[in-house]
A and B are shown apart, each in its own frame.
Chain A
Amino acid sequence: MTIKELKQRSIQYRKNVLKYILQAKAGHTGGSLSCVDILNVLYNDTMNVSPQNFSSPDRDRYIQSKGHSVEALYVVLADKGFFPEKDLETLCQYKSHYIGHPTRKVNGIEQNTGALGHGLPIAAGTALAAKLDGRAYRVFTLLGDGELPEGSNWEAALTAAHYQLDNLCAIIDKNTLQITGATADVCNTDPLDKKFESFGWAVKEVDGNDPGELKKLFDSLPFEKGKPSLVIAHTVKGKGVSFMENDVKWHHGVPGKEQYEKAIEELDHALTVI
């Protein structure tokens, strides 16, 4: 896929995220919009995973630690053909498997997440299994910047470095916001690069809303042989919709019909100027 095509996809994904959140009257809008470019590049370019090879032990794995941004994941998996997009019309309804966090009842999803601070330890174990079995697959996990105070992340960071898991790539969606407000005000975790480097990781930073930059960076994995890779992705919460950007109220704010239409108008316009 060309960079231009990737960019078009990102916008289409944003439109779909909003469409299904509007229908369900529920969802984590801001965090889904901030991470959608990352998922786009992983699934459409970087990772060796598809509906066809999903049961193969050699597929690349993606584990979403920030499970609440599941709408972004659903939209990308539907586009990849893991399930019909129409299924998303049941989002959050009685007996639907398309609930507010990822579960393995949905084709394409590797792990049930939703409680923060679980993705990295599971990803480390999954990457360790590849080393033990001599398999070449890689493991990706996406964390929110607000979830980093969970101690389990730092415990897993030690394990990953100790076992030299250079087949593991953790991506931090650094949109600088969580629920209460700015991450720096709630519990400051900076400087992340120095912290992870001192834990034995190879660290790179990127504009996490630029598919071209993301592709280039993921192409250069692993950043250092023998070390797990950390991507600090600088993103904007609510990215792509002017009135949602950088505003905490859109963490789990759900648009009304008018707001939705305004957002779609902006995204349609963005499609014309790529």
Chain B
Amino acid sequence: MAEIITANIGYKPNQDVFSETMQRLAENDKDIIAVTSDSRGSGKLVPFGKKFPKQIVEVGIAEQNLVGVAAGLASCGKKVFAVSPACFLTARALEQIKNDVAYSDNPVKVIGISAGVSYGALGSTHHSLHDFAVLRAINNIIIVAPADNYETEKAVELASQTPHPVYMRFGKKPMPLLNEANDDSFAFGKGRVIREGDDVAIIATGETVYPALLAANKLSEQNISTAVVSMHTIKPLDTALVKKLAEKCRAVITVEEHSVCGGLGEACASYLLQQGIMKPFAIIGIPDEYTVTGSQQDIFNHYDISEKGIAARAVSLLKK
């Protein structure tokens, strides 16, 4: 059950699955529109643009304009996916997301590509380590970070049917399938239990679920029973699942490709504390410092977002 299944659609970047799903949806729905800002290459939407030239709108390098135009299109019944690197979309165009999308309830799907530190050595201008935090503080936008190809496909399908704003972020790295992907239970706001366990619970999101699962397998060699959850929806948070895990396990760890400030970890901590549930708790993410330079993998290793790093934190947390 904890096995990582790599057959059928495994090992594609989630971004590729996003683009394939977009093509499938557009096949039967002329209202599906992608809006891009010189970002169709990074968003893997070149084939989409060739196949559906009337369903792609290009605004040039202008992310604020991108989100505003998307809001206008969405207000007229178009199912709009505004696609641009997560770093620019959720920083530069934040006011457009806040006012034109969330506040006005225009059901734009804001798609942040190459999210987190996917752009590694391009540096902090190209990292999105703030997107969960800023969007969590904005009312009326669902925040999703799919872990694998299965979750990505389901999330994109679901978003296209959701009549409200959704933010979704993807990375560039090929992702293995994490679990039996043939159940149809995927829903926003419902975390997926990838592995059961009762010593420590690891609540991870996006591309960090995979190293969390590897860490859990490693911990089981030391007879530490570890639960792993893919918390693909950061908001609304699956508080029932967070509560259940924290009550059952001796310690809780969260993992995210995001600043430790204001993301998944703090959302869980805030909820648990207000419920009066106090367990040894650790947030693994990018600390509040000048981010180390290097590739995504270098950065992950440096900050313990790795099999070894997560397992070591679990062991030390259980000693508390």
Contact of A100 among B39, B64, B123, B298 (CB under 8 A): B123
Q: How distant is the Cα of A97 from the Cα of B121 in the complex, in angstroms?
A: 10
Closest to A146 in B: B61
Closest to A101 in B: B123
Answer whether residue B88 sits at the interface, using C-beta atoms and an 8 A cutoff: yes
Answer whether residue B196 sits at the interface, using C-beta atoms and an 8 A cutoff: no
Chain B residues contacting A92 (CB-CB under 8 Å) are 121, 294-295
A178-B293 in contact (CB<8A): no
| Interface mask (B80-122 → A, CB under 8 Å = 1, otherwise 0) | 0000000110011000000000000000000000000001011
Taking the closest CB of chain B, its distance from the CB of A174, in whole angstroms, is 15
Chain A residues contacting B121 (CB-CB under 8 Å) are 26, 92-93, 99-100
Interface of B is mostly: loop
Chain A residues contacting B126 (CB-CB under 8 Å) are 100-101, 114-115
Closest to B36 in A: A180
Chain B contributes a number of interface residues (CB within 8 A of A) equal to: 31
Chain B residues contacting A270 (CB-CB under 8 Å) are none
B41-A179 in contact (CB<8A): yes
Answer whether residue A129 sits at the interface, using C-beta atoms and an 8 A cutoff: no
A187-B122 in contact (CB<8A): no
Given contacts A150-B62, A151-B65, A180-B41, contact A94 B92 (CB under 8 A): no
Taking the closest CB of chain B, its distance from the CB of A31, in whole angstroms, is 13
The 6 listed contacts between A and B (C-beta, < 8 Å) are: A93-B293, A95-B294, A101-B123, A115-B126, A149-B65, A179-B39
Please give me the 10 A-B residue pairs with the lowest Cβ-Cβ distance, nearest first: A187-B60, A114-B125, A149-B60, A94-B294, A149-B62, A92-B121, A100-B122, A94-B298, A99-B123, A115-B125
**Besides the contacts A94-B298, A101-B122, what 16 more A-B pairs have beta carbons closer than 8 Å?**
A92-B121, A92-B295, A96-B294, A100-B121, A100-B122, A101-B126, A149-B62, A149-B65, A150-B61, A178-B38, A179-B38, A180-B36, A180-B40, A180-B41, A187-B58, A187-B61
* B contacts, CB < 8 Å to A: 36, 38-42, 58-65, 87-88, 91-92, 119, 121-126, 292-295, 298, 302
